[in-house]
Structures are given as C-alpha cells and as structure tokens.
Structure 1
Amino acid sequence: MSGIEIPDDVVEAVRRAEWITVFTGAGMSAESGIATFRDADTGLWEKFDPAQLATPEAWQTDPALVWGWYQWRARLVRDAQPNAGHQALAELARDRAVMVVTQNVDDLHERAGSDVVSHLHGSLFAPRCSHCGRPYQGTGADPQLAVHEMRVEPPTCPACLSAIRPGVVWFGEALPADAWRTAENVFAASDVVLVVGTSGIVYPAAGLPMRAIESGIPVVEVNPDESALSAVVTHRVASSAGVGLPALVTAVRAAG
C-alpha cells in the first residue's frame, strides 16, 4: 500500500477522461536516480557550472567539453531505469489516450512504454548537425570516455562535415517549433491534464498548464513540493511521481 489517498474528485476526473495530457518535469525522473544538474557527487564535473555548459556560447568556445558533459549525462540516463511513476503512466494508457509532453531530455517515458508526443527541451538521444540540422544516426563517441575524460571530440556530420551537437535546447535557444505546436494542440484537446514533478517556473513551457487552467480544463498536480502552479490547479496530490501516480492509477482502475 502506498499510504496515499487520492481524492474522489481526482479519481472521477481521470476516470471519465478519454484524452489525458501528462506534463512532466525533473521530478518525474528524480526517483530513477538521475543526478540533477547540481548534484555534488559528479566527479570530474563538480567544478563546472551546468548553466554555463548548457549554452550556445559554451559550444562555440569548447565543443569537446560540452559534448563530453552531455555524453556523461547520457550515460547516467542509460544506467537508470523507469520508476513506478513512469510505469503507472504507461499502464494508464492501456485504457485511454495518454499523451506525454515532457521537459525532460531523458528517454525514461519511452522505455516504460509511454507515447511521448513532445520533448519540449529536446533529447539527449537525438543529436543533430550543428550547421545543417540533419539528425545524426551514428553512435557518436563512447559515453564511457566521459567518465575519465572531460573533453570528448564530437563526431562530424556525414553531409557537411560540421560537428554534431547535443539534441537539447540550450539556455537562450527557442523551443523546437514542431514540439511546441504539438504540445499546444494536445493540451487544447485534453479532458484532463496531469502536471507531474515540475516547478512551473520555466517558461514558455509553464504557460501550457496555465492556459489549460484558464480554459477550464481540470488540471491535477502531482508534486511533493508546492510549485508556482499549486495555488491555481484544480486538484493537488502532495506526493512524488513514483508514489502518487501508481496510487492514482490503482484508484481509477478500482472505480471502474
């Protein structure tokens, strides 16, 4: 037993929904053991400021350093496993349409079996050419290198021979237009929105649940901590994703 009691109105809103949009942030993956940007126990990387590495300027100055850092991050994700929250969302999708819009750059939703319709901030596993934008299908550098060496030379694009860059959105860059358009569309079509593990302060992404709230769509927050959205959501479940989501799915199934 999880010990979490899901309010009846939350259960009913989800049970009746035919289309559910799930909006996830960093808290969704925390229980999978993925280190946050500022985790002190990062070996070679602890002396670097992630906010300085995740920028176009850092890439222009030292692409090998930036590529090495993202290789290290990709290795952390490969070593992690989807948690009970990821699994619960995949289970929920067996009975109804569940569309995941995530701010996370990992692939844990997909590995759990969910349909991720939009990676708003890109993906660690979708590198592309820094010049022509062509998706890169190669294996890239061995991520093990980033454990021992900070600088790892990025591979080159087979089409134009420019450096391959990480497929993430850096600070100061616009969100991918297609990902944003898709997110807007699925939010607008939702019967209910679940907001899981996000602070609600990173814009423009945080504007999506706010727009749903203003449109009268029920918005359920699952977060152990209060966020910028907590005061305005329709319902709130004060729990982590790994506990609250399985409890919610169990309650919905029990309600028929």
Structure 2
Amino acid sequence: MVPSIARAVAQDGERVASCSKCEQRVFHYDAELFCSVCRWLVPDVNDRLAERYAATGGACAPDEGACPGCRQSGAGPAVVFPVMCPECGASHRISQRDVSLTTGATLRCDCHFPITIPTDVWCPGCRLNLRGLQKISALIKKANEPDSRVGDSVKQPPLDRTARRVIGLACAGERWSRTVCPARQGQLLDGDHLDMLLFNDGQIADWILDQVKLRSLGHRLHRDGGMALMAAVAQRVGALDHGVLRLVDMVWDGIGDWQG
C-alpha cells in the first residue's frame, strides 16, 4: 500500500486513508511523511500520524463530493485482497474485479469448500470501491457460517450456506477416510456410532469429528424443518457438488425417515 500512497501524494500533494477496522478517515499523509531519496515512509511516521489525528480532533472530514462510506472521490485502483477458507484455513487471494456487485463471488478451495464472497464487501455508499480489509474478512466469515436455524425456502441464502457447510464437512470426512484403517472407515458411516459420539460427553477424535458434525447438522435440520428441510438442503448440495451427495445420504441415514 505504501507505493500507492506515495504516488497519490506525489500527484495530489496529500492522501487521506481510512482505518481498515472502523473505516474512518484517520491517516493524513503528505510529502513530509516520505523520504525524498527512497520515497518510503519516514521512521517516525506513526508518531506524526498520531499528532495529526489529535490536531484534527479525530477523523478527517470527507472531501467535498467524496463517498461518505469509503471517503473516495470516484473509483480507486482495483485491489487484490486475501481470503481465508473457513473450513481448512488455507489462504487465497482474489481480485475485486472478480467480485460481482450483484451476486458476489464463489471461490472454491482445494479442500472443495466453496467460499462465498458477499456483495457487501463493496462500499455501500458508492459501490465503486471495496471496504477495509478487516471489514471484508468479517463479512466473508459471517457469510460462510452455518445459521443456527435454516430457512425453509430453497431460494433463501441461508439454505445455500448450510449446503456449503454440508459439502465442507463431507469433503473433510472423505479425506480422513483415505488415511484410516477399514474398521474406522466403517465407523465414519455408522450412524449409531456417530450418534453415540455426538450425544455422549467426551473428546471426539479428529479423524471422525467432521462426520459427527455432519450427523449433528442432519439432526438439527430434521428438528427445525423435518424431512422437507433435509431434502431441500440435500438438493442444494447435489446442485453445488453432486459428488458428495452419496456420502451425505449415508451419514444422515436413520435421522427421521432418511434412508441412505
């Protein structure tokens, strides 16, 4: 970010940047904060920025005609921002050019988890620039969390998020199945054994934890919406990743009237 700020200062004489967490305009840069030889920030830049923040009494007012959300006048340069997979923790990068203003984006991780990039990563004011990185990370995390209660309409986003959670757990369980002995492979698909682990207090081994979570999610769906809701989620799973649907069927076997 430093070179881009330096270019803006060289061109316009100053640059006011926003905090990535609170999105307030709190960093006031000008030529005094850059070395005239190497064009990098001076060593005491943080102290000087703090003095300027105190002198203005807090955040800087937006420029005339600037967006009240991102505080920019027009569209800034396109950026590439980091995305962490909520399932396996792998790090990815995506360009804002690949994120639709109307539908967002989906980034498929190597663990097969489809990471949802929601549309609200865009500034709600101008819809031309992205929000701060910390805000983006929080929004992506929220968009990929399973809901405590799932809606009963297949058109609702919560259903899609639950289907993606099902896919992530099923893929993780499938990876574990390739590393364990045949006896444990059978336990991964044994509904009675998964229920025993689920409903008894005690530590659950890593190799079967994802299958227990998947079984638990099936019970919760049945509790909230019965077979109709389970079927609706399974339908979305099949549409998003048909390859894991058979595994989901077997893990949910015996929940209500569900037959794997």
TM interval, short-chain normalised:
under 0.3
TM-score normalized by the length of structure 2:
0.25
